[in-house]
Amino acid sequence: MSVQSSSVRRNTVPKIAGRKGGDPIVSLTSYHAHTAAIVDEFADFILVGDSLGMVMHGMDSTVGVPLDLMIMHGRAVVRGTQKALIVVDMPFGTYEESPSIAFRNAAKIMKETGCGAIKLEGGARMAETIKFLVERGIPVMAHTGLTPQSSHVLGGFKTQGREEDTWADHIADAHAVTDAGAFAVVLEGMVEPLAAKITKEISIPTIGIGASADCDGQILVLEDMLGMNSWAPKFVRKYCDLGAVIKGAVEQYAADVKDRSFPGEDEVYR
C-alpha cells in the first residue's frame, strides 16, 4: 500500500479524539494554501469552515455556500499543509435531507480534497446521519450550540443557553453526537458554564468558539484573530491588526506608482 511521500506524518482523527481532557487542542480555520502552510506549524487540526462564504466571498450568511466552493478551498488547504488534520465543513443543504445524501456528498468532499474528516452542524437531529457516515468510514466532527447554518431559525447569531431551562436540550445534543460516533464536537456561542458542563460530561473532545476556556480545545476564524475583518464577534481576541498592515502597504504601493518610484525592469528579476 502506498503511503505519504513526505517524512512528516499528518495528524489523525484517533489522535485528536485521544486528546480528551489532555493537552488543549489548537485549531484555526484556513481557506487557502498560503495561510494554511503558516497555520500548519501550530495547529492540531485546520478547519476549512463554511465561514469562508462570509469571510472570503462577502456573503451575509453561510447558507448560500455551494459544495464545489468548499471542495476548491479544501483542496488548496490540503495542498498547503503536511501536518495538521484537515476538516472540511459540509455546507447547508448537502447533508440534512437523508443519511445517504449526506454520505454521497461527504464522500465527494473527502475524495476530491484529500481531507481527513468532515464537519456538520446539528445535535440529536443529526445523530442518525453521523452514525451512518462513521459506520461507512467518514470521520465526523459535530457542531452544536450556535449553528450558523440555522441562523434563520435561531433568529440570528445569538449566544445559546442564556436561559437555564434550555440547557437540557444542548446537553442532550452533545450526548447524541457522542453516542453516534462523532470524534469531537465544536461548541459555538454557548454560555460558559454550559460549555464547561458539557465538556465534563461527554467522552469526546469539545472545541470551543465563544464558549469556555474549559473546552478541550479552541478554534477561531483566522481572519478574525488577525484583525482582517471590519467586524468580528466580541469574544475574538485579536492578535494583530493585519487589516491596517495591508491597508498601509497598499497605500504605500499606490503612492510609489504615482511617484513613478516603482522599480524598473532591470531591478525586478535579479
Query: Catalytic positions, please?
Result: 188
- Select from 11, 30, 35, 51 the one that contacts ligand KIV (CB under 6 A): 51
Q: Is 216 in the site for ligand KIV (CB under 6 A)?
A: no
Give residues with Cβ within 8 angstroms of 21, minimum separation 6: 216
Q: Are 265 and 254 in contact (CB under 8 A)?
A: no
Closest approach of ligand KIV to the CB of residue 97, in Å: 20
Q: Which stretch binds ligand KIV (CB under 6 A): 12-20, 43-51, 107-115, 240-248?
A: 43-51
Contact 146, 157 (CB under 8 A): yes
Smallest gap from Cβ 61 to ligand KIV, in A, equals 11
Rounded CA separation 239/33 (Å) = 21
- Only one of the segments 42-50, 133-141, 169-177, 195-203 lies at the binding site for ligand KIV (rule: CB under 6 A); that segment is 42-50
Phi (first) and psi of residue 190, to 5 degrees:
-130, 140
- Residue nearest ligand KIV, Cβ-based: 49
Does 50 participate in binding ligand KIV (rule CB under 6 A)?
yes
Gap between the Cα atoms of 244 and 102, Å rounded: 41
Q: Which is nearer to ligand KIV, 121 or 255 (CB)?
A: 121
Residue of 147, 149, 171, 168 lying closest to 159 (CA atoms): 147
Query: Which run of H or of E encompasses 36?
Result: helix 33-39
Residue 227, CA distances (Å) to 211, 220, 236 in order = 20, 12, 9
CA–CA dist 1, 53 (Å, integer): 37
Question: Of 46-54, 130-138, 232-240, 259-267, which part binds ligand KIV (CB under 6 A)?
Answer: 46-54
Single out the residue of 174, 221, 222, 232 in contact with ligand KIV (rule: CB under 6 A): 221
d(CA 56, CA 42): 22
Among 11, 29, 113, 159, contact with ligand KIV (rule: CB under 6 A): 29
How many angstroms separate the CA atoms of 67 and 192, rounded?
33
Size of the site for ligand KIV (CB under 6 A): 12
Q: How far is the CB of 131 from ligand KIV (least distance, A)?
A: 21
Nearer to ligand KIV, 213 or 257 (CB): 213
Binding site for ligand KIV (CB under 6 A): 29, 47, 49-51, 89, 143, 186, 188, 209, 219, 221
